[in-house]
Amino acid sequence: GDSVTQMEGPVTLSEEAFLTINCTYTATGYPSLFWYVQYPGEGLQLLLKATKADDKGSNKGFEATYRKETTSFHLEKGSVQVSDSAVYFCALSDGAGGTSYGKLTFGQGTILTVHP
Amino acid sequence: EAGVAQSPRYKIIEKRQSVAFWCNPISGHATLYWYQQILGQGPKLLIQFQNNGVVDDSQLPKDRFSAERLKGVDSTLKIQPAKLEDSAVYLCASSKQGVPQETQYFGPGTRLLVL
């Protein structure tokens, strides 16, 4: 079945440091890939997405490129801020096989803490 | 536009009791999802509705969980009887059509503690 594996956390960085959160996936077909974020006290919200191979999703300075050859969708940001402290979830949605069309399969989440 | 609404936000019950959660999706969204998020894990789909029909309930523990979507809009998720392992956050999400490339919009969740 479909699965998503994220790097072990938590991740602690100083402000302005470079961020990478690794994400790899297993899927039957050609999934769409997502990064969702959960800020403290708030609900899950979409950070960025990519729907086909080699697409790059970007938002708020974050980027991730859909790499079909390595089945990866790593999240990067060049200079993190304290306000980026949150839990980040990698997810996929795979319409292949006739099963739940559009359902998200999530990784376990990575807690990011950014210190001033 | 208004987001996905859920209630209650918190609920504490004892094991073997019953509990119900309510969700109101974004207006016009045909697809509604219920996810269970256990502490330290990513959300896991329990059930997906397309309008008022069930698309996927393969991971719903049907001996104790039930869900319905009245008139293709609001939805309720019920647990009866609850077990300790049901302690989790229950997330409702909606999307326009339920296709893989769509964004899903999540509600704030209902945090359930079973004692």
Question: What torsion, rounded to 10 degrees, do the Cα atoms A6, A12, A14, A18 define?
Answer: -10
User: For chain A, what is the radius of gyration of the CA atoms?
Assistant: 14
Phi, psi of B21 (to 5 degrees): -120, 150
Q: Which of B89, B9, B84, B83 lies closest to B41 in space, CA to CA?
A: B89
Bigger pLDDT: B67 vs B1: B67
Residue A96 pLDDT: 58
Tokens 């269970």 locate to B36
Q: For residue A80, give how far its alpha carbon lies from the nearest alpha carbon of chain B (Å).
A: 23
* pLDDT tens, residue by residue, A24-72: 999 987 899 999 999 988 899 999 999 999 999 999 999 999 999 999 9
Residue B16: phi and psi, rounded to 5, are 80, -10
Residue A95's pLDDT is 66
Q: How confident is the model at residue A100 (pLDDT cuts 50, 70, 90)?
A: low
- Contact with chain A for residue B42, Cβ under 8 A: yes
Candidates A25, A36, A73, A100, partner chain B, best to mutate (most B CBs within 10 A): A100
Confidence of residue A97 (pLDDT cuts 50, 70, 90): low
> Is A100 in CB contact (< 8 Å) with chain B?
yes
**Could you read off the pLDDT of A79-96 as tens digits, one per residue?**
999 999 999 999 999 865
Mean pLDDT of A7-13: 89
What pLDDT is stored for residue A94 in this prediction? 81
The closest alpha carbon to B108, from B38, B2, B3, B32, belongs to B3
What the block records as the tokens of B89 is 């956050």
First and final C-alpha spacing in chain B: 37
On average, the pLDDT of chain A sits at 92
Cβ distance B100 to A109 less than 8 Å, yes or no, reads: no
Residues 20-39 of A with CB under 8 A from B: 31-32, 34, 36
d(CA B67, CA B80): 11
Structural contact between residues B71 and B28, judged by C-beta atoms closer than 8 angstroms: no
* Alpha-carbon span B82 to B19, nearest angstrom: 8
pLDDT tens for B47-98 read 999 988 999 999 999 999 999 998 889 999 999 999 999 999 999 999 998 8
Report whether pLDDT(A99) > 80: no
Chain B residues with CB-CB distance to A87 below 8 A = none
| Calpha distance A55→B56 (Å, rounded) | 29
